[in-house]
Amino acid sequence: MTSNRSFTLVSRPQGELADSDLALHEAPIVAPAKGQIQVRTTCISLDPTNRIWMSDVPQYMPPIAIGEVVRALGVAVVEQSAHPDFAVGDRVVGLPGWATHPTMDPAAAAFQKLPAGLDMSDAKVLGLLGTTSGMTAYFGLLDVLEPTAGQTLVVDAAAGSVGSLVGQIAKLHGCRVVGIAGGPRKVQYLTETLGLDAGIDYKNEDVGAALDRHCPDGIDLCFENVGGPIFDEILMRMNNHGRVSLCGLISGYNAAGIERVPGPYAFGMILMRRLRVQGFIILDYAPRFAEATATLLEWGQQGKLVTLEDVRTGFDQLPESLRQLLRGEKHGKMVLVP
Ligand SMILES: NC(=O)c1ccc[n+]([C@@H]2O[C@H](COP(=O)([O-])OP(=O)(O)OC[C@H]3O[C@@H](n4cnc5c(N)ncnc54)[C@H](OP(=O)(O)O)[C@@H]3O)[C@@H](O)[C@H]2O)c1
């Protein structure tokens, strides 16, 4: 009989996640008690927030407790059910965590059934319709920034899971879009595949000078994924009454405490340029996920959105994959097939 393999957190990472921060377990699969289901995890989403959840910093959900299975989004198939709403064979998306065959309360794991007829790979589900991909891009852009045609929008981590969809959806709404990403391959992807107006290689270019070149009339909208010096360069070039959707601050996630990362130094620009800066957490939009799913599916079917998934394999590779995600050593939405 197959066993359940899982990673638990044994210590909070100091800086980059270390292998010694986790323990790998192998145990018999547990039959579900009344109200539970047992699933086989078929695809795990690697997300910057995995690293946030490992830290004991102020955050939007409780941190992963020491000794707990690492929390993670993913797709799974129901293998045993003692819950009236779930049947063997149902395909679900939710929080199976870093576990191959977990037994869980489906509500606690936020499991939602995928439509039976959905003809889409697990990786694509996580890359286009995932909470941390399409949902975040859709609401963080359309609800928070309310883009209108002709506005100039800058997005960083632009070749990644969220950023690549933000750039494309902003183009669909008539914006001029400048993306920032690391390395020539990703910058080429921004303009040639995603159809953005310009790309900036933050690893090899002076970001401020490049923003001056590509945004001669300033920046109206910023979709912020990174923080740090890149965010300062953007803030310095915002137009009066510009808006910032603060989605993420990945440049600080390996720091000891995100609340203590210095900056933004250009904070005064919020006053001088009368900016509206709004943080958002995608979970607040859960009641409206069906709306975004329908629209993203339609745009996807019409060929208006391109997604790229970087699919890793091997359950043991989860820690190294997360390290690589934080370093940008991947192309597209990173997922792992256990
Ligand atoms: N608010 C929410 O509800 C919500 C939901 C989902 C995600 N997020 C946030 O959205 C952001 C993007 O997440 P994602 O899943 O789409 O990840 P991703 O973009 O697919 O991957 C992370 C990327 O971040 C970039 N990066 C890492 N460190 C950097 C640094 N020091 N300077 C510049 N770029 C750096 C790298 O870009 P390059 O490859 O170009 O170097 C890396 O590929 C994260 O901050 C995440 O926390 C927020």
Closest CA to ligand 1's atom 24: 157
| Average of per-residue pLDDT across 141-168 | 98
pLDDT value, residue 1: 56
End-to-end Cα spacing for the chain:
17
Distance CA(291)–CA(288), nearest Å, equals: 6
Same domain? 86 vs 34 = yes
Sign of dihedral through CA atoms 194, 200, 201, 203?
negative
Same domain? 268 vs 150 = yes
pLDDT digits (tens, 9 = 90+) for 292-307: 999 999 999 999 999 9
**Amino acid identity, position 327:** R
Q: What is the pTM of this model?
A: 0.97
Residue 14, domain extent: 3-123+307-337
Q: Determine the distance separating the centroid of ligand 1 and the alpha carbon of 128, expressed in angstroms.
A: 16
pLDDT value, residue 223: 98
pLDDT digits (tens, 9 = 90+) for 218-239: 999 999 999 999 999 999 999 9
Distance CA(322)–CA(45), nearest Å, equals: 10
Identify the three-state secondary structure at position 69: strand
Pick the closest to residue 116 from 135, 76, 89 (CA basis).
89
Same domain? 119 vs 148 = no
Same domain? 8 vs 108 = yes
Cβ proximity of 234 and 270 under 8 Å: no
- Pairing type for strands 91-94 and 103-104 reads unpaired
In this structure, what DSSP letter does residue 33 have? P
> Which of 279, 295, 324 represents a domain boundary (last residue)?
279
Residue 22 region by backbone torsions, left for phi larger than 0, else alpha for psi between -120 and 50, else beta: beta
Query: Which of 129, 165, 202, 250 to mutate to test ligand 1, by most ligand atoms within 8 A of the CB atom?
Result: 250
- Which residue spans within 247-326 are E strands per DSSP? 276-279, 309-313
Same domain? 190 vs 316 = no
Cβ proximity of 132 and 45 under 8 Å: yes
Tokens for 135, please give them: 């949902």
Same domain? 227 vs 272 = yes
Number of domains in the chain: 2
pLDDT digits (tens, 9 = 90+) for 50-63: 999 999 988 999 99
Same domain? 227 vs 166 = yes
pLDDT value, residue 2: 85
Same domain? 176 vs 257 = yes
Is the confidence at residue 317, as pLDDT, over 90?
Answer: yes
Cβ proximity of 54 and 14 under 8 Å: no
pLDDT value, residue 259: 64
Residue 42 maps to which CATH number? Answer: 3.90.180.10
Q: CB within 6 Å of ligand 1 — which residues? A: 47-49, 132, 136, 157, 159-163, 181-182, 186, 202, 225-226, 228, 230, 247-251, 280-282, 325, 328, 333
Radius of gyration (C-alpha) of the chain in whole angstroms = 20
